[in-house]
Chains A and B, each alone.
Chain A
Amino acid sequence: MSAATAVLRRLRFSREVVLLGVLIALVVVMTLLDPLFLSPTTLLNTSRFFVEVGLMALGMTLIIITGGIDLSVGSNLGLVSVAVGFSYAAGLPLPLAILFGLVVGVAAGFFNSVFITFLDLHPLVVTLGTFALFQGLAYGLSNADAVSDFPAWFAYFGQAYLGPVPGQLILFVVAVAVVWVILSRTSFGRYVYAIGNNEEAARFSGVPIRRVKIALYSGTGLLVAMAAVIYTSRVYTARADTGLGLELGVISAVVLGGASIYGGSGTIGGTVLGVLIIATLQNGLILAGVPSTWQLFILGVLLLVAVFLNEFFRKSEE
């Protein structure tokens, strides 16, 4: 055990505590850079941004715990956005269009799971293919166009407030609670950890592996679809490239939160903290006037650092 881990152990610092500390430190730094950062309105406003990534990260957490991965979430987001916008533009009543979008999102996730479970293909390659397929379908079906003339109430999803709190933040909190309960209190959650730690032993114990994986990828599709509706409402536009590059942020958040990329470990709390840290970082940089060109770079570096530290500490614990 390295000295660093020994110290952490003795001080009973779990990973989540460390993350919380990083988050607090970040907030302090950001506030020093720009005093307006810590005002409630600003904080609550920034929370809008991270809800979309956060919802997707919830599903991605479970997928990564089972040792899988889903690179297609960003493209799926764009596809759902297009599905909602363009079916509405084609004449479908908006509530039905939204429902249609949700169905498309779930179907896309299910499509992924078919290749992964029935054909036993590696999630990496399958979702690389669907990453292209979904994005392509989104472009093609939308003709690289955009839909913007939604009725006023559509903004409710992405821009409303319930009292002082943004609407989607409440949704996010509910979603976090639901997924957290599923992962830590239900047999389904137990199955997820079992599959991630030892899929063979899980099979010998009668765990319904196929069913769990189908539910995971389809469920993530549903979360992606919800995020898509919220995002489309927030920017009031439905476009195909909505989700471009989002998968990076989602995976980074999950890994930063402590999930091992090899599977078997991870928590919802950790993921939420990861999402918060990334969102704070991004938003803080924007507010401080740091050019947006830095952001991608930092995000990429952050992912690498996060994974490296993850495995480094994990190795020294063994």
Chain B
Amino acid sequence: MSEARAPAERGGAGGVSLRRLLRRPEAPALVFLVVLVAAFTLANDRFLQVGNLESILASVAVLGVIALAVNQVILCGEIDISTGSMLGLCAVAAGAVATSAGGLLLPLLAGVAMGALAGAVNGFLVTVGRIPSIIVTLGMLYALRGVILLVTGGTWITGIPNETRVLGIGKVFGLGYPVIVLLLLFVVMELVSRHSTWGRNVFAVGGNRRAARFAGLPIDRVRFLAFVLVGVFVGIASVIYMGRAGSVQTNTGAGLELQVVAAVVIGGTSISGGRGSPLAALTGAVLIGVILNGLVLLGVPGIWQDAVLGGLILLAITTDVLRRRLVGDKA
């Protein structure tokens, strides 16, 4: 046998050094979040109260839930900008069932089923139709909005029974259900992302599609499931939304898709796929919530929101590119 072998990896086997933590894709966003929270707390020490934090989380619950799922789509190398209209449509479905049948389970099922259907259409068009996902979801964004108008005839859905609104306004041990659902789904996604075959395959398909094909991964199935997952999560989010808003309007969800993509990208998931995590999506959503909250505190009028959002997206992708150039990443 031969002698000289590879020198041991620096840092020790399985070591969780600070350096490694900082290399994680969510690191910059998390650090920024901590800094921002610290800054706001300094400005107003009531910022750090549980009640305030909880209300911030509740306000981004809908955004965060959807971002967790869109994160998976972006990770496998695609994109989905139809989620705003999807939310409206799921809310309509859930709302219709709620006003006629009441309860929580049935409207939830209705919302989820509608979402899964829409997601499946997206997935089908991307995989079997071989249409780029940007085009598919752009078309669906408007097509679904049209469906909403068609179905509702322009009228709002009001009078959502209180039992249905539980997920939006109910509390348990002082913690709102939106926050609970958000954190629960976050944990679920972390588990799925780390421990399920599909979850790991998503990274492979997005990271090196050529190699994934040669390794025999079911690329189409992986992507299809990602789009359906978005639909399911949007369905759940629609019930939360309905609970909080108490009604469903024809323009429900308009503009949300942009915030969702912003959350995912700002949180650290790379737009080119293969790199990121559910934590990135959650961090991004919370960060957006904190920033928008902060803008209000600073007295910036709400109409500047979109500009800030757009600016943040550009900032996030620019720093990602600059970071890669400085570090000399080959990935």
Asked if A and B form a direct contact in the complex, defined as CB atoms under 8 angstroms apart, the reply is yes
A residues lining the B interface (CB < 8 Å)? 69, 71, 115, 119-122, 124-126, 128-137, 139-140, 143-144, 245, 248, 251-252, 255, 261-262, 293-301, 303-304, 307-308, 311
A264 → B minimal CB distance (Å): 14
Known: A304-B136, A308-B129. A128 touches B141 (CB 8 A): no
- Chain A interface: which of B59-67, B164-172, B241-249, B301-309? B301-309
Known A119-B322, A248-B138, A304-B135; 4 more pairs at CB < 8 Å:
A135-B306, A136-B310, A296-B142, A297-B149
Known: A139-B303, A299-B142. A121 touches B258 (CB 8 A): no
Task: Give the B interface residue count (CB, 8 A).
Answer: 46
B59 → A minimal CB distance (Å): 19
Interface of chain B: mostly helix, strand, loop or mixed: helix
CA A227 to CA B318, docked complex, whole Å:
30
Instruction: Write the B290-323 contact mask toward A (1 if CB under 8 angstroms, else 0).
Output: 0000000000010111111111011001100110
Q: Is the CB of B301 within 8 A of A126?
A: no
Q: Which residues on the A side are within 8 Å of B131 (C-beta)?
A: 261, 304, 307-308, 311
Q: Identify 24 residue pairs between A and B in the complex whose beta-carbon atoms are under 8 Å apart, listed by A's number.
A: A71-B138, A115-B314, A121-B317, A125-B271, A125-B313, A128-B261, A128-B313, A131-B258, A132-B307, A133-B311, A140-B301, A140-B304, A143-B301, A293-B154, A294-B146, A295-B146, A297-B142, A297-B147, A297-B150, A300-B141, A304-B125, A304-B131, A308-B131, A311-B131
Q: Is the CB of A132 within 8 A of B301?
A: no
Q: Is the CB of B265 within 8 A of A125?
A: yes
Q: Which residues on the B side are within 8 Å of A144 (C-beta)?
A: 303
CA A125 to CA B310, docked complex, whole Å:
10
CA A119 to CA B316, docked complex, whole Å:
13
Total A-B residue contacts, Cβ distance less than 8 Å: 142
Q: Is the CB of B150 within 8 A of A136?
A: no
CA A308 to CA B125, docked complex, whole Å:
9
A308 → B minimal CB distance (Å): 5
Known: A126-B314, A300-B139. A132 touches B146 (CB 8 A): no
Instruction: Write the B121-137 contact mask toward A (1 if CB under 8 angstroms, else 0).
Output: 00001000111101110
Q: Is the CB of B305 within 8 A of A129?
A: no
CB-nearest residue of chain A to B306: A136
Q: Which residues on the A side are within 8 Å of B262 (C-beta)?
A: 132
CB-nearest residue of chain B to A111: B314
Q: Is the CB of B132 within 8 A of A126?
A: no
B275 at the interface (CB under 8 A from A): no
